[in-house]
Amino acid sequence: MVTRDQLLEHGLSAHAIDHRAKKGRLHRVARGVYAVGRRELSQYGVWMAAVLACGAGAALSHHSAAVLWRIRKQQLRGIEISVPAARRSHRAGINIHRRRAFSDDDVTECHGIPVTTPICTLIDLAATTLSDNELEAAVNEADKLDLADPEALRAALDHHGKRPGVTRVRRLLDRRTFALTDSELERRFLPIARRAGLPMPKTQQLVNGFKVDFFWPELGLVVETDGLRYHRTPAQQSRDALRDQKHFAAELTPLRFTHAQVRYEPDHVEATLRAAARRLRLASSEDAAS
């Protein structure tokens, strides 16, 4: 892809450009934008043509950028391009976003195409009609692809001020990376356990060689809590699996909740504990009867 201005800068005259267009060496795909050699364009070519058509400083953004970065699978609308606020671009088939604060730090390249950075793209997505589940899926995908881990994303929000989307991303991350101190965790979890009909548990006990958060030896129930949902390393995940497997092999029932669930979803935690207690008591009474 090349623009007419770029061809002129490289020494071609207007007549030479028109001659090459007539001969099929250049194919006009937008005003002032040509495909070189053949008319057929890949998706990358379509995106590049749209960026070039919007002039210097333009970059693929929003849903289009998310698809290019592979953090979204489908583009929900026409091609989206961000340009500096002073630019008065109007292009058919292109949704243009004018930015008052659009710096070089917001833009990089992917497959040679100027595009908003993954962090900038996620903030832009948060300012759209994307649902909370869809936004969280995009954050998870960016994390999985090593484009933007949630901790780096959370830290970057402070540099974007009151930009649209920042508050929503912050709310999502704060909820999902929420962590309680040990005392706060006990203060919030123990009333939930009591409402579920459980007696007072032992706390911070060594069970099968592991320090566990809550333990009911009479029921054989172990409850572990995770402070972070996002970005747990493979080593951390393996240790968690090993702990649960050790408890299971010792004929204990391991349950795992996040701190965010204890804080924000107490009804779900209570219902799960109630069901576990009911099943364990029933199993205990059947064993006693036999």
Tell me the C-alpha distance between 77 and 59, whole Å: 16
pLDDT at 213 exceeding the cut of 70: yes
Q: Which two tokens stand for residue 131?
A: 């649902």
More confident residue, 60 or 177: 60
- Could you report how far apart the first and last alpha carbons of the chain are, in Å? 79
Token representation of residue 245: 């497997």
Give pLDDT tens digits for 244-290.
999 999 999 999 998 888 988 999 999 999 999 999 998 877 776 66
Residue 85, pLDDT score: 78
Question: Which of 3-17, 149-163, 184-198 reaches the highest mean pLDDT?
Answer: 184-198
Cβ-based neighbour number of residue 244 at 10 Å:
18
- pLDDT tens for 97-133 read 888 766 778 899 999 999 999 999 999 999 988 888 8
The distance of Cα 84 from the centroid of its chain, to the nearest Å, equals 26
Query: Confidence class of residue 230 from pLDDT cuts 50, 70 and 90?
Result: low
Positive or negative: CA dihedral 228, 234, 239, 244: positive
Of the candidates 74, 83, 14, the residue with the CA atom closest to the CA atom of residue 51: 83
* Structural domain boundaries in the chain: 1-40, 57-176, 182-289
Here the tokens at position 21 are 């267009």
Nearest one of 38, 53, 42 to 3, comparing CA atoms = 53
Residue with tokens 């071609």: 12
Task: Tell me the average pLDDT of the chain.
Answer: 86
CB 223 within 8 A of CB 202: no
In what helix (H) or strand (E) does residue 221 lie, and over which residues does it extend? strand 221-226
Query: Is the predicted pLDDT of residue 233 greater than 80, yes or no?
Result: no
Cβ atoms within 10 Å, residue 80:
25
Can you tell me which residue has the tokens 């349950």?
255
3-state secondary structure 76-128: CCCEEEEEECCCCCCCCCEEEEEECCCCHHHEEEECCEEEECHHHHHHHHHCC
- Round to whole Å and give the CA distance between 272 and 252: 16
155's tokens: 């830290």
Q: Which residue has the tokens 């909740």?
A: 257
Higher per-residue pLDDT: 38 or 210 = 210
The CATH superfamily label for domain 182-289 reads: VSR Endonuclease (3.40.960.10)
240/120: higher pLDDT: 120
pLDDT of residue 76: 62
Alpha-carbon gap, residue 24 to 43, rounded angstroms: 21
Q: Tokens 């809590």 belong to which residue? A: 225
Residue identified by tokens 């090349």 is: 2
Which of 178-182, 190-194, 255-259, 279-283 is predicted with the least confidence, judged by mean pLDDT? 178-182
